[in-house]
Structure 1
Amino acid sequence: MNPATGAQLGAVTNTPLELIPAIFEQAREAQRVWADKSFSERRRHILKMRDYIRDNADELAKIVSEGNGKTRLDALATEVLPCLMACSWYGKNAEKVLRPERREPSSLLWVGKRSEIRYEPLGVVGIISPWNYPLSIPFGEIVMGLMAGNAVLLKVAAATPLVGQAIEQIVAAGELPEGLFSHIVGSGGKVSSAMFENGIDKLFFTGSVPAGKQLMAQAAESLTPVSLELGGKDPMIVLEDADLERAANGAAWAGYQNAGQSCGGVERIYVHESVYRKFVDLLAEKTRQLRHGVPCDQMAVDIGSMTTAKQRQTVAQHLADALANGAKVVAESQGVGDQDGEFHPATLVTDVHHDMLLMREETFGPIIPVMPFKTEDEAVALANDCTMALTASIWTRNTKRGKRLANRVKGGVVAINDHLYTHGMSDLPWGGPGESGIGRTHGPEGLLEMTKAKAVNWDWLRAKRNLWWYPQDQESYQAIRNAMRMVAPSSGADFLRAAGKVVPVMVKKMYL
C-alpha cells in the first residue's frame, strides 16, 4: 500500500516456509562456487548491478517513494545514489581490506614462526531490513556480503515488499550464480526462526531495540553471531559560536527528512542559552516554510508521509505526552493537497525536559524538541543521558573545539557542523554502542563483519621439537625460566645473561 494515498501498489506472495531448507541448500552450493572467484571477478558482477541502478534510477526512486512515503528527491538522494556508490566502493576496496595479513612474531621466542591472518567468507548470511530505508540499508549489506564471498538471503520489511522485488531485479542484473541470492517474503519472526533453524552463519538485522533483543535471544540458542543496528535518539549540540543559519538548516534536514524516520536523524537539540531564542526563531521560520503532502514528480512537497499507521500513532503519543507536561508547539509545516494518508506535520517543540517521552524514547517521526543549556558540561551530560548512542552532532565555528567535545559525546558517529549523511559514506563504519546495537556495517569494519578470521602459522626453522615438548626435564624448565627474563629483562645485561643460558639449550633440545 502507498502510505501517502492508501492506494494498493501490488501484491507479493509469501515464500512457503517449507521451501526454505532447499533455498539454504542451493545457497550453500552457490556460495562454494562464488568463494572460489577472485575479488576482481566478484567486482565485475557488482558493477553490472551498479550500471543497472544508474540506468533505472528514476524507476527505483519511484518504487521507494510509493512504498515508503518519502519524496522522490529523498528516495533518489538517500537510497538510490548510496546504492550506486556502495557498488563502486566495495567493488574497488574489498580486496584491499580482506587480503591476507602478515603478522610479525610478537617475541624473540617465536623467531622461527610466521603467521598470516586470512579473512574467509562466513558462508550464508541473512539480512533482515527495515521499512525506513528499504533500498539502501539492505543493498549496502548485500554488496558487502557478496564481495566478501558469501551467499545472501534477504528478508525486507512487510511494509515495503515491492522494494524487495526491485532489489531482486538489481541483483539479477549482476548475473550471479543461481541461488547465491534469494529474497524471502514473509513474517519477520517466522523467517528469522527458519534462518536459525537452517543454520544461517550470521544474521544482520536493522530495526527496533525490542525486536533486536528478541533476535539476539534466539541467536543465543545456537550461538549464531548477529549484527544489530537498532535505535537512535540522536542529539545535536549548538554552541554559542555556531553558524546559526547553517545549524538551523541542518536541523530541519536531519530532523524532518524521511518524515523523521531515520535512526541517525536529529531527535533532540541542545542550544546554548545565549543563542537559544535566535536559533528557535530561525528553525521555526524554516519549519513553517516546509510543505508536507503526497510525493509526486513535480516536487511540490518537501516531506512525504510516514510509512505506517503504528509509527504515526507513536509520534502522536510522544507529542501528546510532551504537551501534557508543559511543552509548546512553536511551528508546523504546511499541509499540501490530500491529507488522508499517514501524515504528520514537521513540528518544532520547546519547553521540554528529560522526563518526557519525547526526550527519552525514540520518537522516529518529524518532531524536533529544543532545549537550552548553560555550559559544555551540561550539554554533554544531556546528550549522553540516553540508552542509545547511534550518532550525534556538534555545531561550532571552531573545529578544534568541536573535536574535543566529540571525545566526550557518546555515539558511533559524531559529526561537526553536519548531521544525517555518513550512512551514505561507504568508507565509514555505521553503528553505535548501548541499545543502538552490536557490531558495525559499512566501511572496512562492515566488510570484516562479513568474514571469519583464520590464523595460519608455520615454522621456517624446521626444528625437530619445541622446547616445551616431551620429555620434560629440569634443563627445559630452567631454559623456559630464563626465557622469561629475556621477555621481561631488568636490564640489558640481564637480557644477555638470560640469552646465554637459553640459546644453547634451545639448540640442543630443538635441533640436536
Structure 2
Amino acid sequence: MNQFVTPNAKTVTAINPATGDVLGEALHTPEDQYASIFQRARQAQKVWAKQSFAQRRTHLVKMRNYIRDHAEELARLVSDSNGKTRMDALITEVLPCQLACDWYGKHAAKVLAPERRGPSSLIWMGKRSEVRHEPLGVVGIISPWNYPLSIPFGEILMGLMAGNAIVLKVAAATPLVGKAIEDIIAAGELPSGLFSHIIGSGGQVSTAMFEHGIDKLFFTGSVPTGKQIMAQAAQTLTPVSLELGGKDPMIVLEDADLERAANGAAWAGYQNAGQSCGGVERIYVHESVYDRFVTLLADRTRALRHGVPNDECDVDIGSMTTANQRLTVEKQLAEALEAGATIVAQSEGPVHGPGHFHAATLVTGIDHGMTLMREETFGPILPVMPFRTEDEAVELANDSPMALTASIWTRDTRYGKKLANRINGGVVAINDHLYTHAMSDVPWGGPGDSGIGRTHGPEGLKEMSKLKVVNWDWLRARRNLWWYPQDKASYAAIRSALYLVAPRTVLDFLRSAIRVLPTMIRKMYF
C-alpha cells in the first residue's frame, strides 16, 4: 500500500508503510481558501516583522518545550508515518527540532544584525553604509517524506526568526506529520495567520504559491521536480532555495580505522532504509584494506535487525516509505546484478507482506557504468569499489553531478582535511557521515544537481532575508565633486584622484592630494 492524493480527493489517507495500517486522514485545504491564506499571511507578517528578535525567541522557547514534553509521541508518529525506527525518529527528527529552536532563538539577532561599513577608499571618505537583513515577506516551504518533521521545521524556524510568514506544504505520504507541526506551532502562540499548512497536491500548491506572490520558495525533493519548480519560479522571478539530493561518496584510505569505518558505513548507508539525501551511496576503499573492510561491513549488514518499528526499539531498520521508491531500488539492484555485480550480504527481514521492506544489501563487482553508481538510489544498498591511488579515489568520488556530502576515513585528520579540498561536496566529513543536517550552526546544501542555496546556520538565516544597503554622507557638502556644473578643474581633480587610489610612491600620493583637495573644497562647499 502507499500514500497518495488523487486529483479530486477531499482527503489524503495516511498509511503506515511498514504494516499497511491506516493511520488516519487529513482534509485537503479547499482551493477557494488559498487567497485568504496568503492575504492573512501578509497581514500577520507586517506585525511580526516589528517584533524584536528577543520577542520572537519567546515563541520558539514555547515550541522547544512542547517538543520536549511530546518527544515520544512525535517520534512514534514520524516512525509510523515514514517507516523509520523509533530511535531514528527520535535522534534524526525530534532532537534536531528541539536543538534548532534553541540555536536559532539565541543566534538570529547576531547573525541578522545590521552591519556598519566604513569607506572603501579615500574617494568615499564622507560616505558611511549599513547593510541590513530585512524579512522577505511570505516564505513558501515544500518538504519531503524522508525527514517529514526535521526538514520543514528547521526552515520554519529560520523563516520566523528572520521576520517572515510561512506557508507550508508537506509530502502527501506523511500528512499527519504536517498536522503535528501545526500542533508544535500552535504551542508557540504565534500571531494568527503567520503560519499556515496547506494540504494538497504538490503541483497545485506550488502553482498557488507563485500565483499568490510568495517572496521565496524553499523546496526539498528530487532533481527533476526541482528543475520544474525552478522553471515555474522563473516566470515571476521568484527566488528559490533547492535541496535536491546527493550521490554521496565515502572514501576509506589505507590507514583508516576499519572497525569505525564499517560501523559508520552501515549507519550512514542503511539508516532510514537508505532514504537520506546525505547518506552514503557509494563506497571507495583502498585496495590494500578492501577485503578486510568488505568482510567487516558484511558482518554488520547480516547482523542488522530488520522489521516493523516498535516501542521496544529492537529493530535497526524499518521499511521504506513508498512503493515507488522501493521499486526504484529493486530496479537498480537488478540491473547491477545482471551487469555482473554480486550481493555479498543482506539483512534478514519481512521482505514479503504489506510493508515496503527492502533488505539492507552490500554489493561488490560494480562500476560507474551501472545506474546504481550514477543515479540516486535512495534505498538500503551499499555498493563498494576498490581504488589504487588517491587520484583515482578523488576522480571516482567526483564523478557525479550530485555533490551534497562526502566523507573521508583516515587516522590522519590533518591529511583528511587536506584531501577534502579536492572533493566536490557541500559537506565533507572526516571519519563520520550523515549527522551535520542535525547541526543547526552549519550550512546544508551542495553544488551541481544537489541544488541551489543553503539552509541551516547563519547562511540559512540570511537566505530567509533580503539585503538592503542604507548609505549616508556625513560631510554635509553642498554638492559632490562630480555633480553639475562640470568643468576642467573638476575633471583634473578626478583624474588626479586615480593616483590617490593607486599611487606609484608616497610623494606621488601627496602630489595627487594637493591637486584634488582645493578643487574638491571649492566645488563641494562654495
Normalising by structure 2, report the TM-score. Answer: 0.97
Residues 301 and 336, structure 1, Cα contact 8 Å, conserved in 2:
no
* 1:425 paired to 2:432: no
Written as runs of structure 1 = structure 2, the 5 A alignment for 1:272-351 is: 272-335=286-349, 339-351=353-365
The counterpart of 2:171, out of the listed 143, 150, 157, is: 157
Q: Of residues 252, 264, 272 in structure 1, which corresponds to 2:266?
A: 252
Q: In the alignment, is the contact (CA less than 8 A) between 2:455 and 2:463 conserved in 1?
A: yes
The one of 221, 239, 253 aligned to 1:239: 253
* Structure 2, unaligned runs of 5 or more: 1-14
Q: Cα RMSD (Å) of the superposition?
A: 0.8
Q: Whole-Å Cα distance in 2 between the matches of residues 34 and 108 of structure 1?
A: 41
Q: 1:54 aligns with which of 68, 82, 103?
A: 68
Q: Could you tell me which residue of structure 2 aligns to residue 133 of structure 1?
A: 147
| Other-structure match for 1:119 | 133
SS of equivalent residue, structure 1 residue 4? coil
Residues 128-178 of structure 1 show CA distances to partners (whole Å, capped at 9, x for unaligned) of 000000000000000000000000000000000000000000000000000
Counterpart code for 1:100: P
Aligned with 2:240 (options 226, 229, 232): 226
- What do residues 230-266 of structure 1 show as CA deviations (whole Å, max 9, x unaligned)? 0200000000000000000000000000000000000
SS of equivalent residue, structure 1 residue 291:
coil
Partner of 1:216: 230
Contact 1:125 1:151 (8 Å CA) reproduced: yes
- Name the SS of the counterpart of 2:40 in structure 1: helix
Partner secondary structure for residue 353 of structure 1: coil
Whether the 8 Å CA contact 2:351–2:358 is kept in 1: the answer is no
Gaps of 5+ in 1: none
Q: 1:186 aligns with which of 176, 188, 200?
A: 200
> Amino acid of the residue matched to residue 150 of structure 2?
S
Q: Counterpart of 2:160 in 1: which secondary structure?
A: helix
Aligned ranges 1:37-186 → 2 under 5 Å: 37-186=51-200
Q: Distance in 2 between matches of 1:425 and 1:188?
A: 28
Deviations 1:8-33 (A, max 9, x none): 11111111112111101100010011
1:461 matched residue in structure 2: 475
Residue of structure 1 in register with 2:505 after alignment:
491
Moved more, 492-501 or 280-289: 492-501
Q: Distance in 2 between the 1:494 and 1:327 partners?
A: 73
Deviations 1:419-471, CA, capped at 9 Å, x for gaps: 00000000000000000000000000000000001000011110100011111
- Aligned counterparts of 2:355 and 2:158: Cα–Cα separation in 1: 36
CA contact (8 A) 1:464 1:510 kept: yes
State the distance in 2 between where 1:31 and 1:38 align.
13
Rounded to whole Å, the distance in 2 between the matches of 1:84 and 1:258 is 20
* Matching residue's letter, 1:260: G
2:366 to 346, 352, 355: 352
Q: Which residue is equivalent to 2:7? A: none
1:390 alignment counterpart: 404
Corresponding letter in the other structure for 2:439: M
Q: Secondary structure at the match of 1:11?
A: strand
Residue 510 (structure 1) aligned with residue 524 (structure 2)? yes
Match of 2:425 in 1: 411
CA contact (8 A) 2:351 2:357 kept: no
Query: 2: distance between equivalents of 1:121 and 1:457?
Result: 19
Matched residue SS, 2:454: coil
Asked whether the equivalents of residues 261 and 364 of structure 1 are also in contact (C-alpha less than 8 Å), the reply is yes
Q: Which moved more, 1:327-336 or 1:412-421?
A: 327-336
Q: Separation in 2 of the partners of 1:269 and 1:210?
A: 25
Q: Distance in 2 between matches of 1:140 and 1:318?
A: 32
Cα distance in 2 for partners of 1:408, 1:32 equals 46
CA distance in 1 between counterparts of 2:385 and 2:130 reads 53
Following superposition, which runs of at least 4 residues in structure 1 exceed 2 angstroms of deviation?
336-340
The answer as to whether partners of 1:293 and 1:339 remain within 8 angstroms in 2 is no
Write the letter of the residue equivalent to 2:107: N
AA of the residue aligned to 1:223: L
Count of residues in Structure 1 that have an aligned counterpart in Structure 2: 512
Which residue in 2 is equivalent to 1:16? 30
Write the letter of the residue equivalent to 2:28: N
Residue of structure 2 equivalent to 1:373: 387
Kindly state the Cα deviation for residue 336 of structure 1 after the two structures are TM-superposed.
5.3
CA distance in 2, matches of 1:500, 1:432: 52
Structure-1-length-normalised TM-score: 0.99
For residue 34 of structure 2, give the secondary structure of its aligned residue in structure 1. Answer: helix
Query: 1: CA distance between counterparts of 2:494 and 2:508?
Result: 15
The equivalent position to 1:32 in structure 2, one of 46, 54, 78, is 46
| Aligned mates of 1:134, 1:27 — CA distance in 2 | 23
Distance in 1 (CA, whole Å) between partners of 2:256 and 2:228 is: 42
State the Cα distance separating 1:300 from its structure 2 match.
Answer: 2.2
Q: Is the 8 A contact 2:100 2:440 kept in 1?
A: yes
